[in-house]
Each structure stands twice: as structure tokens, then as C-alpha cells.
């Protein structure tokens, strides 16, 4: 009888491009995991520094190194790695991050215990240029609600069921050179179940040479394409001017400078609020309310308060008490009929 070699339960997938400074620490953090049943696919994406030499120095049988003759980019390299993977679970890892020793074991035990979970992330600790523990949404509905607006799942924290990925998405969209993870999560959010383990399992390094820092404008443009697709999925079509305002609001860089911009912002948020509440939950509504909350005061400051905006803010529940409502109503009436002073 022939010996049958069982495939590993997990494939750890990493793409490397000129990562010599932090690469060994990232690899060692995977090799030192408390979980052992994995293959480690590392795509060397045409590195021109000493990354390839660092990779060749490892003799661990779990490592499979693949060299790209030219630099294909992260998205194409990850798809190449997915095509070579054998594990039932795909664990993502970046070449500059550090996995805590129990990272893989904790995620696999969670997904095997709760078999409805298809994509499992974790909380993570930023270090390097800035230090912060990021506590991402934990439950599926909150994750889905947040994904409508922004990415809330750090790419290098995820563990994905390979069969779910293949059945529902097929891999990364290579037209998204940046924000490819956000695009994938939004493509999956209505088809699979997400969860985040409320425990720090990864140290996420922040430094000036990482792709997100070097290509922030391109990354934002890709993310805005995803946001536009999310809007279209709930039947919301915006003009270019409205789109820019909405994208600026989500990026927390919107500052109303005139009455028209403020009115457009309020109208856009109300439109999204009413269209989205059919498909999304409490976290979605709270985020829209958070975006809308500064607008009543801004409209008073710009002498833009009106009965129409009063109705929007009332329906959006951002005039929090009777005093705020009376104050706003006064300014709206003053602008409408010319009341000169508070009586």
C-alpha cells in the first residue's frame, strides 16, 4: 500500500518585495508558531535587495519559495500563491509584520469550533512609527456595516477558508493594484461570514517604506472605487460632485465651506442612510449619524440653516435634545423669514 501524504491544514501566504530590513523577523514569527501543520508559501516578487538571499538561508521544509522573474505586484503575486496553495485555510502574512506565537492556533481553533466562519481576523497592535492597539469590529453584521465605508480588517491578520474563497470570489481582483484586500472583503461580505477574534494576534509595523505609505493616493483611489460599487449595490447613484463630498466625508477630510456644499453633504448622507438601512444594521446607521453630526452646527455657522435641513437632521436623529432642536429651528426660521433677533 502506498503512503498517502496528507496536505497541510494551513497555507501561510506571503509576498516579498525588497523587504530585507524586516523579512527575517516576519518569517521567524511564523516558523515559531505553536501550530505546526502548515506550508509557508513565499513569493519573492522580483526583489532587487538581499531579500532572496535571506529566503535562501532558510532550510525549514515547510517553506516553499517561488521567484517571480519580474515584479508582478502584490495582487498578482497573492493570486499566484493561492493557485499553488494546498491548505484548507489560507493565513495571510506580510513581510514586515510579526505574528504572535499563538496566532495560527487561535484562529484555526476558532474556525473549527465555529464552522460558519469563513474569514477570521483579529485585533492587532501597531508599532514602529506609531503605537496603538486596533480593536476592529468583532461580529459579522458590524464588520459588514463598517466595510460599506472603509476597510476594517487588516490584511495580514486574516485566516480564510480556501473553499469559501474559491466558491464565492475566486481570488483577488488584479485591477486593484492597491486596496485589493478591501475590494475582496466587499465582494465577499454578502456571501460569507466574517468574524474578528477580540485578541491581539499580530504586531502591525508602520514605517515609511511600506506600500500603504508610499502609494496612499493610489490606495485611496482604489478604495473609492470599492465605495462607489457599494453605493451602486444599494441603488444609490451620485453625481461626481456628490461622490467627492462623500469620499471626503468617509476620509474625515470634509469641511463645508459654503451653503451648497453643506446641503449636498446632508442630502447625500440622507440618501445613503435610507437606501442602506434595508441591507445594513445598527453600526451602519451609527456611522452615518456620526458623519452627519457636525453638519447642524456648520449650517448655523454658514447661515445655511433651513427647514429642509432641519427635516434631514431630525430624521437622522442628530439633533440630540430639545434645546438643539429649538436652536436650529430658530436659525432656520431666521434665514427663511428674516427674524432679526432671539425673542
Question: How far, in Å, are 31, 228, 291 from residue 233 at the CA level?
Answer: 42, 9, 21
> Counting every residue, how long is the chain?
343
What number is the average pLDDT over the span 83-92?
97
Q: Give the up-direction half-sphere exposure of residue 321: CA atoms within 13 A in the CB hemisphere.
A: 1
Neighbours of 132 (CB within 10 A): 11
- Maximum distance among all Cα pairs of the chain, rounded to whole angstroms: 97
> What tens digit of pLDDT does each residue of 55-67 get?
999 999 999 999 9
Q: Is 206 buried (19+), middle (13-18) or exposed (0-12) by CB count in 10 A? A: middle
Q: What is d(CA 155, CA 135) in angstroms, rounded to the nearest whole number?
A: 14
Residue-by-residue DSSP string for 73-99: -HHHHHHHHHHH---SEEEE--TT-EE
Q: Give the up-direction half-sphere exposure of residue 108: CA atoms within 13 A in the CB hemisphere.
A: 22
What number is the average pLDDT over the span 122-143?
95
Least confident of 64-78, 163-177, 209-223, 318-332: 209-223
Say which residues have a Cβ less than 8 Å from residue 65's Cβ, sequence separation at least 6.
42, 44, 55, 56
| b/e 260-299 (16+ beta carbons within 10 angstroms → b) | ebbbbbbbbbbbbbeebeeebeebbbebbbebbeebbebb
- In the chain, what are the domain boundaries? 10-215, 234-337
Least confident of 153-157, 168-172, 285-289: 168-172
Say which residues have a Cβ less than 8 Å from residue 262's Cβ, sequence separation at least 6.
256, 295, 298, 299, 302, 304, 309
Are the CB atoms for 94 and 212 separated by under 8 Å? Answer: no
The residue ranking higher by pLDDT, 216 or 226, is 226
Least confident of 229-233, 292-296, 333-337: 333-337
> What tens digit of pLDDT does each residue of 238-252 get?
999 999 999 999 999
Return the H-helix or E-strand segment holding 144.
helix 140-147
Q: Which of 3.20.20.140, 3.90.550.10, 3.30.365.10, 3.40.50.300 is the CATH number of 10-215?
A: 3.90.550.10
> What tens digit of pLDDT does each residue of 267-290 get?
999 999 999 988 999 999 999 999
Query: Does the pLDDT of residue 129 top 50, yes or no?
Result: yes
- By DSSP bridging, strand 159-161 and strand 89-92 are antiparallel
Confidence at residue 47, expressed as pLDDT on a 0 to 100 scale = 97
Q: What is d(CA 45, CA 50) in angstroms, rounded to the nearest whole number?
A: 12
Amino acid at each position: 500500500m502506498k503512503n498517502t501524504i496528507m496536505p497541510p491544514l494551513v497555507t501561510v501566504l506571503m509576498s516579498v518585495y525588497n523587504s530585507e530590513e524586516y523579512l527575517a523577523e516576519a518569517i521567524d514569527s511564523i516558523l515559531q508558531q505553536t501550530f505546526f501543520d502548515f506550508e509557508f508559501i513565499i513569493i519573492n516578487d522580483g526583489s532587487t535587495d538581499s531579500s532572496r538571499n535571506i529566503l535562501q538561508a532558510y532550510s525549514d521544509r515547510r517553506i516553499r519559495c517561488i521567484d517571480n522573474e519580474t515584479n508582478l505586484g502584490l495582487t498578482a503575486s497573492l493570486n499566484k500563491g493561492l493557485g499553488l496553495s494546498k491548505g484548507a485555510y489560507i493565513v495571510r502574512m506580510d513581510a514586515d509584520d510579526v505574528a504572535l506565537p499563538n496566532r495560527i492556533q487561535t484562529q484555526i481553533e476558532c474556525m473549527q469550533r465555529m464552522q460558519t466562519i469563513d474569514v477570521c481576523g483579529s485585533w492587532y497592535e501597531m508599532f514602529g512609527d506609531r503605537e496603538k492597539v486596533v480593536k476592529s469590529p468583532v461580529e459579522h453584521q458590524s464588520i459588514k456595516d463598517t466595510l460599506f465605508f472603509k476597510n476594517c480588517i487588516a490584511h495580514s491578520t486574516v485566516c480564510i477558508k480556501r473553499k469559501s474563497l474559491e466558491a464565492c470570489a475566486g481570488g483577488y481582483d488584479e485591477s486593484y493594484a492597491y486596496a485589493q484586500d478591501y475590494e475582496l472583503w466587499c465582494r465577499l461580505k454578502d456571501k460569507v461570514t466574517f468574524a474578528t477574534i477580540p485578541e491581539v494576534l499580530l504586531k502591525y509595523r508602520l514605517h515609511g517604506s511600506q506600500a500603504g505609505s508610499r502609494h496612499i493616493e493610489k490606495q485611496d483611489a482604489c478604495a473609492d472605487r470599492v465605495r462607489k460599487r457599494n453605493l451602486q449595490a444599494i441603488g444609490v447613484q451620485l453625481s461626481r460632485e456628490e461622490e467627492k463630498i462623500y469620499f471626503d466625508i468617509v476620509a474625515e477630510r470634509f469641511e463645508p465651506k459654503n451653503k451648497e456644499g453643506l446641503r449636498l453633504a446632508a442630502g447625500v448622507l440622507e440618501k445613503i442612510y435610507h437606501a442602506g438601512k434595508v441591507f445594513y444594521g445598527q453600526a451602519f446607521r451609527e456611522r452615518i449619524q456620526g458623519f452627519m453630526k457636525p453638519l447642524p452646527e456648520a449650517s448655523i455657522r454658514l447661515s445655511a440653516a433651513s427647514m429642509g435641513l432641519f427635516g434631514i437632521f431630525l430624521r437622522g436623529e442628530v439633533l440630540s435634545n430639545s434645546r438643539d432642536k429649538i436652536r436650529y429651528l430658530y436659525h432656520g426660521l431666521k434665514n427663511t423669514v428674516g427674524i432679526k433677533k432671539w425673542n
